[in-house]
Amino acid sequence: MSAGGRNWRLVRANTDAVPSSARRFMARARRRRLRAAVPWAAAAGALVVAGALTWVVYGTAVLGVRNVKVVGAQLIDPVQVQQAADVPADEPLARVDLDAVRARVRAIPAVDRVTVKRGWPSTLVIEVVERTAVAAVPTGPGKMALIDATGTPYREVSRKPDGLPLVRTAQPGPADLNTRSALKVLGALSPELREQLIAVSVAAPAQIHLELSKGRTVVWGDDTENETKSQVATALLKKASKEIDVSAPLVVTIR
Distances (CA, A) of 128 to 6, 78, 90, 168, 181: 98, 10, 23, 29, 28
Model pLDDT, residue 53: 54
**3-state SS, residue 17:** helix
User: 3.40.50.720, 3.40.50.11690, 1.10.275.10, 3.90.440.10: which CATH number matches 135-254?
Assistant: 3.40.50.11690
Model pLDDT, residue 63: 80
d(CA 51, CA 166): 61
- Dihedrals phi, psi of 191, to nearest 5 degrees: -60, -35
Contact 101, 85 (CB under 8 A): yes
CA atoms within 13 A on the CB side of 106: 10
Contacts of 161 (CB under 8 A, 6+ apart): 133, 136, 146
d(CA 228, CA 188): 9
Instruction: Identify the bridge partners of residue 151 per DSSP, sorted by sequence position.
Output: none
User: Domain 67-130: which CATH class?
Assistant: alpha beta
pLDDT tens-digit readout, 21-78: 666 767 777 777 767 767 766 766 666 666 655 554 465 668 889 999 999 999 999 9
Q: How far apart are the first and last CA of the chain?
A: 144
Q: What is the pTM of this model?
A: 0.74
Instruction: Identify the bridge partners of residue 250 per DSSP, sorted by sequence position.
Output: none
Question: pLDDT below 70 — which residues of the chain?
Answer: 1-18, 21-23, 25, 34, 37, 40-41, 43-61
Model pLDDT, residue 189: 97
Helix (H) / strand (E) element for 49: namely helix 20-59
Peptide bond before residue 121 is cis, with ω within 30 degrees of 0 = yes
Model pLDDT, residue 232: 96
d(CA 214, CA 160): 19
Domain ranges of the chain: 18-58, 67-130, 135-254
d(CA 216, CA 226): 19
